[in-house]
A and B are shown apart, each in its own frame.
Chain A
Amino acid sequence: MERVKVFEVLQGIFQDVLDNDDLVITDQSSALEIEEWDSLAQIQLVVAIEKKFNIKFNAQEILSWKNVGEMVDCILQK
């Protein structure tokens, strides 16, 4: 799947999980700058992404992401 397509899907998941339809994410978006993105949201994001793409992340991957761009890279490697 192309990067841009993955990004588009993630955009929807972020809006849905963080319950904010105005949210626009970029490669640089991180938990530091997006207020709703706390540790609980992180789990819901992981589960939603795993289901959507039918993949599984390992614990190290989940802990390693610093921003959305790194999440996308990780998805593309699966």
Chain B
Amino acid sequence: MRGAKPLLLVEDNPDDALIIKRALAQLGLGEKMVHAPSAELGLIHLRSARKEKPAFILLDLNMPGMSGIEFLQTLKNDPGLATIPVIVLTTSNDRQDILQSFELHAAGYIVKPFDYETAVRALKIIDEYWNLNHLPAFHT
């Protein structure tokens, strides 16, 4: 179960970050989200000893600097972070991106919905799903 654990959003696009923030607020999950505007900052957050590890990560793929795929690679090679589920949330429906994400053990792959209501529904389902699941982060 996710419980009171936060979730981490790794997203460079401010509009998309705004959409997810508002959708989470609407779902009553607003305070539990940490937003990293780049993959690098996301890693710094995850590796900081004082910060609570998130229940799961929402990850954008197309970002300047470190890409989402590189972030995923780094994460899965880090024993301390490899067990955190990562749900890819991206505009790309490229077959290569989907394949690579799942090869790197992504827990899900969602193409960003165009309209807000669909985005809210998608996030609601993600939250419900990860509330049903037992997560490693809850036990550490």
Partners in one complex: no
A binding-site residues for B, Cβ under 8 Å: none
B binding-site residues for A, Cβ under 8 Å: none
